[in-house]
Amino acid sequence: MPLRFRTIIEPFRIKSVEPIRFSTQEERERALLAAGYNLFNLRAEDVIVDLLTDSGTGAMSAEQWAGMMRGDESYAGSRSFFRFDEVVRELTGFRHVIPTHQGRAAERILFAEALRPGDVVPNNTHFDTTRANVEHDGAEALDIVIAEGREPASEHPFKGNVDVARLEETIARVGRDRVPLVMVTVTNNSGGGQPVSLANLREVHAACERHGISLLLDACRFAENAWFIKRREPGQAHRPARDIAREMFRLADGATFSAKKDGLSNIGGFLAMNDDDLARRCRNNLILTEGFPTYGGLAGYDLEAIAQGLIEVTDEDYLQYRARSVEYLWEKVDRAGVPLVRPPGGHAVYLDAKGLLPHIPPREFPAQSLSVELYRAGGVRSVEIGSVMFGKPRPGGGEEPAAMELVRLAIPRRVYTQSHIDYVAEVVAAVADRARELRGYRIADAPAELRHFTARFEPL
């Protein structure tokens, strides 16, 4: 019998390293003041472990870098485009593949061509740029995730699932003509990186088909979603993750994709679909701002990096390591008694600031307070996903708070080692130990849309 070992190790060696500058708490205090207590305004050099996002922050493989050297920079008909197109079509099965410089460009083009003012777009949960792009075209972005998906403590294995009864009710209420498309975000980023089951996708597919409505995936983290299906959904354990991913795409009529996540690339994305007429209009729109349809705002070498990334990301040694590294941080934070979104998600650990800081009301932004403190104490940069990001002005004054007050610790792909994560867990536990001392914030200055990127705050 061969020996079996329990430790799941990184399925790679490190060939190139990037130094981290260690700042002191006094330096970080000054940096916070200059940044208006908005972590988006920090210089990345002033951060020790950067968990702001898993988007575009991953490490590329030797094969991706090699592909970049092979990139064909021809304006039209580049060889790199055809490689990209072939890989995306093998994976997704969609007829038309339109490269874009990142996910939100795909969203902007799709919605500009598919939506009219007054339309309604149901989605499990819209990501912030997706919501902003829907609203920009005068349509309503409606979140219809299952009830468990809004409860941090609920242990449902597929908390990203769409509430299909609400989908049916919405279509009946507003009328099929005002619902030009339905989106499903895999994994459900704003709801905790939680997956959508294959069974749920099949039901949403059936409902859309019955009403003749297109179903589009926001597929940024499709491979992580496929891995959760393999591990958590009855009857799926024997299937290769890539096979599950292929089925997910085949249940949809199209997808928007940010290659900065499960494309394992630093930039890029695509819009893909089967509808010939919509694709023609989207390509024309693309030419206005992104570029010719065989590069769409990307360099030929980016297309190579994405094509290779889309092959590597469904490797099961990689996916097992990826899921385990998120779960590892999740377990340490959970053991320290910090309330968090359960069960572990695919790309991040989400701390429940409402649970940890009950003395800070939502109007004083508890998740902002917690994320600032993680930076101040240990140089760890996270992101607020709460009322700063999703709060809405109430008609007649005041604000409607977000459903949850979360702090996301997003893990870049193939970047940090276990000791970096041990350090993060130690910082989180130390801040949680003195949670009572944390205070709220007020917004000193903010733009009307997507304010979390640029708002400035003052401590209360």
Which parts of this chain interact with ligand F0G (CB under 6 A)?
A: 53, 55, 102-104, 127, 129-130, 185, 189, 218, 220, 258, 260, 269
Minimum distance from residue 127 beta carbon to ligand F0G (Å) = 3
CB atoms within 10 A of CB 391: 19
Closer of 148 and 224 to ligand F0G (Cβ): 224
Question: Which long-range contacts link 141-147 to residues 24+ away (Cβ below 8 Å)?
Answer: 142/170, 144/170, 145/188, 145/191
Nearer to ligand F0G, 53 or 214 (CB): 53
**Measured from the CB of residue 115, what is the shortest distance to ligand F0G in angstroms?**
16
Nearer to ligand F0G, 104 or 242 (CB): 104
Q: Are 202 and 251 in contact (CB under 8 A)?
A: yes
For residue 282, CA distances in Å to 108, 180, 226 come to 10, 15, 28
Going by C-alpha positions, the residue among 134, 125, 129, 165 that lies closest to residue 345 is: 125
The residue among 162 and 435 lying less far from ligand F0G, judged by its C-beta, is 162
Q: Please identify, using beta-carbon distances, which residue of 102 and 236 lies nearer to ligand F0G.
A: 102
For residue 89, with 0-12 CB atoms within 10 Å meaning exposed, 13-18 middle and 19 or more buried, which class applies? middle
* Nearer Cβ to ligand F0G (110/208): 110
Q: Shortest Cβ distance from residue 176 to ligand F0G (Å)?
A: 25
The least CB distance from residue 173 to ligand F0G, in Å, is: 26
Nearer to ligand F0G, 127 or 249 (CB): 127
Asked if residues 292 and 75 have their Cβ atoms less than 8 Å apart, the reply is: yes
CB nearer to ligand F0G: give 301 or 360: 301
3-state secondary structure 361-388: CHHHCHHHHHHHHHHHHHCEECEEECHH
- Comparing C-alpha atoms, which of 272, 269, 270 is closest to residue 253? 272
Q: Output the smallest distance, CB 269 to ligand F0G, in A.
A: 5
Question: Cβ contacts of residue 419 below 8 Å, gap of 6+?
Answer: none
Nearer Cβ to ligand F0G (40/82): 40
Burial 372-382 (b: 16+ CB within 10 A, else e): bbbbbbbbbbb
**Sign of the CA dihedral with 307 first, then 224, 316, and 14 last:** positive
Closest CB 264 distance from ligand F0G, rounded Å:
13
Burial of 273 (0-12, 13-18, 19+ CB in 10 A): buried
Going from the C-alpha of 353 to that of each of 27, 187, 327, 381, the distances in angstroms are 25, 22, 19, 15
Closest to 188 (Cα-Cα) out of 145, 132, 226, 151: 145
Give whichever of 109 and 179 is closer to ligand F0G, judged by the CB atom: 109
Question: Which residue, 129 or 320, is less far from ligand F0G as judged by CB?
Answer: 129
State the nearest-atom distance from the C-beta of 257 to ligand F0G, in Å.
8
* Least distance CB 110 / ligand F0G (angstroms): 12
Q: At what angle do helices 222-232 and 241-250 cross, to 10 degrees?
A: 110
By Cβ distance, which residue is nearest to ligand F0G?
103
The single residue listed with the structure tokens 């010719």 is 292
CA distance 162 to 159: 9
State the minimum distance, in angstroms, from the CB of residue 172 to ligand F0G.
27
Rounded CA-CA distance 450/446 in Å is 9
Would you say 353 and 449 are in contact if contact means Cβ atoms under 8 Å apart? no
CB of 348 to ligand F0G, least distance (A): 8
Distance of closest approach, residue 282 Cβ to ligand F0G, in angstroms: 16
